[in-house]
Amino acid sequence: MRVFKNRSASTYTSLCFLICLCSFFGHISAQPADTLNKWKFRTDIYLLFPYMKGDIGIADEKEFTAPVDANPGDIFSKLKMGGMLYLEAHNNKWAVTSDLIFMNLKQDITPGKFWNYGTVGAKQLVWEPAGFYRLASFLEVGVGGRLNNLQASIDGRRNAFPAGTYEVSESASKTWFDPILITRLTADIKDKWLFQFRGDIGGFGVGSDFTWQVQGYAAYRFTQVFQLTAGYRYMSMDYDKGTDTGRFIYDVDTFGPQISFGFHF
């Protein structure tokens, strides 16, 4: 049985927050748009410390849906492997970006009516290309997509009725593409401090039924070449495709702090 989550409230809150941030960034943005049509390049190597909350379902003769709800204290123990690379090329009007994320996560199943105990694993590769157009010195809009490859596994013991338990061991792999619409707000203060907020929505049934993401960062430039950035990322995916033995459910929020080391040239 799938557990549906009401996402309309969180989506509405995110949109309202985005509107409020527009006025904030417009007020503190200290630099006018560069008058030179010169392309600049940026490379970020970053670490994300994520945890998961939601439901993963792999259908067999019966549908098995496992709830996961990580504790923030589990971040370092549950993140088996993670690697991230961000690339950007931009001038005063246009920007092209590429964000590549790989995570190998393992999380305990939340015990309940259907599950006695167990673990859920998720090897996730996400590639997110995007293009932006600058409407104002602090505001960009863009389009892009998220190409997702996910290998999920469920291992544990499921409660049997009226009594007892039985073992479950299932795995599946899916690849899908989500188109996304993006807004990005930036403020550059004295060429030393950089603040950025980025939000997107997408899926629209093409891949996921619905997906959304918000990111907020603050960066300090130590030199013209090097900067250090810290922030937070929240990514939500609601994917449900297939029937009978081929059904696959990934209704999961992945979120956590992020730190990156950036280079400009």
Q: By residue range, what is the domain housing residue 50?
A: 8-31+38-264
pTM as predicted: 0.80
Residue 1 belongs to some domain of the structure: no
Q: Output the average pLDDT for the chain.
A: 83
Pick the range with the lowest mean pLDDT from 16-30, 68-82, 194-208. Answer: 16-30
Residue 167 belongs to some domain of the structure: yes
Rounded Cα distance between 120 and 20, Å, is 38
Structure tokens of 173?
């792999």
pLDDT of residue 138: 93
Predicted confidence (pLDDT) per residue in 217-264, tens digit: 999 999 989 999 999 999 999 999 887 777 899 999 988 888 999 998
Structure tokens of 99?
């964000």
Residue 2 belongs to some domain of the structure: no
| Total domains in the fold of the chain | 1
Residue 87 belongs to some domain of the structure: yes
3 state DSSP class of 64:
strand
Residue 108 belongs to some domain of the structure: yes
Pick the range with the lowest mean pLDDT from 26-35, 93-102, 108-117. Answer: 26-35
Rounded Cα distance between 245 and 40, Å, is 49
pLDDT of residue 117: 86
Rounded Cα distance between 12 and 14, Å, is 5
Structure tokens of 51?
């945890």
| Residue 18 contacts residue 197 (beta carbons within 8 Å) | yes
Q: What is the CATH number of the domain that holds 258?
A: 2.40.128.90
pLDDT exceeds 50 at position 11: no
pLDDT of residue 121: 85
- Please give the angle made by the CA atoms of 150, 151 and 157, to the nearest 5 degrees: 130
| Residue 183 contacts residue 143 (beta carbons within 8 Å) | no
| Residue 95 contacts residue 131 (beta carbons within 8 Å) | yes
Enumerate the β-bridge partners of residue 146.
178
Residue 178 belongs to some domain of the structure: yes
- pLDDT tier at 12 (50, 70, 90 boundaries)? very low
- pLDDT tier at 49 (50, 70, 90 boundaries)? confident
3 state DSSP class of 32:
coil
Residue 151 belongs to some domain of the structure: yes
Select the highest-mean-pLDDT range: 2-11, 57-66, 210-219.
210-219
pLDDT of residue 136: 94
Q: Which residue has the higher pLDDT, 60 or 215?
A: 215
Predicted confidence (pLDDT) per residue in 150-180, tens digit: 999 889 888 888 888 888 888 889 999 999 9
pLDDT of residue 217: 95
pLDDT of residue 76: 58
Query: How would you class 66 by CB atoms within 10 Å of its CB: exposed for 0-12, middle for 13-18, buried for 19 or more?
Result: buried
Residue 26 belongs to some domain of the structure: yes
